[in-house]
Homo-oligomer: A and B are copies of this chain.
Amino acid sequence: MVKATTTQQDWVDAAYSAFLADGLAAVRVEPLARVLGATKGSFYWHFADRAALVGAVVERWEAQETDAVIALAEAGGTPAQRLEALFGAVARMRRTPATALLYTQAAAEGVGDAVRRVSQRRVDYLAGLLVELGHGPDEARRRSLVALATVLGLQQLEHVGLDALDDPGLVPTALAMVLAEPLSRP
């Protein structure tokens, strides 16, 4: 039995695949219509415009990010173990163009809010760990912000051809930088 109609889900599924492969810019109505064997007119029955589809894609991304953070938090262990697990996950993450592209595309595509919420959640989780490890709340927040920025920046460098994530000594270095005691400045 062949599917009779193209559902809203079909559009989001196809758009999400395109997003994972090539970022939000790849979420385009006409090419997706070709992939789905539908017309653009069909798309505009299910969605108000392209922005609505982009919104649905980012909503799905946000939900999966939230699940991932919760899974990390529930994995348990000591704060130090959870920090190790977090850095391990980051080290394994590597080349996912979608995420590397997302932050700069977010504002232009009108989904900056969702990306900001996800970022905040990540910073909060890491800051919680650092507080458990004995840092003060302000210092913990700053270090977490810097750590997230580092991960995002390394993905960008990777994306531009600097094989930053290949260096096996880099993640330990970053870990040390996040954990280290603050220096008194000269």
Contact with A153, one of B148, B162, B172, B181 (Cβ below 8 angstroms): B148
With a cutoff of 8 Å between Cβ atoms, the chain B residues found around residue A174 in the complex are 146
CA gap between A119 and B174 in the complex, in Å: 18
A173 to chain B, nearest CB (A): 4
Closest to A145 in B: B164
By the criterion CB–CB under 8 Å, are A146 and B156 in contact? no
By the criterion CB–CB under 8 Å, are A104 and B101 in contact? yes
Q: Is A138 an interface residue (CB 8 A)?
A: yes
Q: Is A128 an interface residue (CB 8 A)?
A: no
Q: Is A2 an interface residue (CB 8 A)?
A: no
With a cutoff of 8 Å between Cβ atoms, the chain B residues found around residue A23 in the complex are 104
A58 to chain B, nearest CB (A): 12
By the criterion CB–CB under 8 Å, are B156 and A104 in contact? yes
Residues of chain A touching chain B, judged by Cβ–Cβ distance below 8 Å, are: 23, 25, 80, 100-101, 103-108, 112-113, 115-116, 119-120, 123, 138-139, 142-143, 145-146, 148-154, 156-157, 159-162, 164, 167, 169-170, 172-183, 185-186
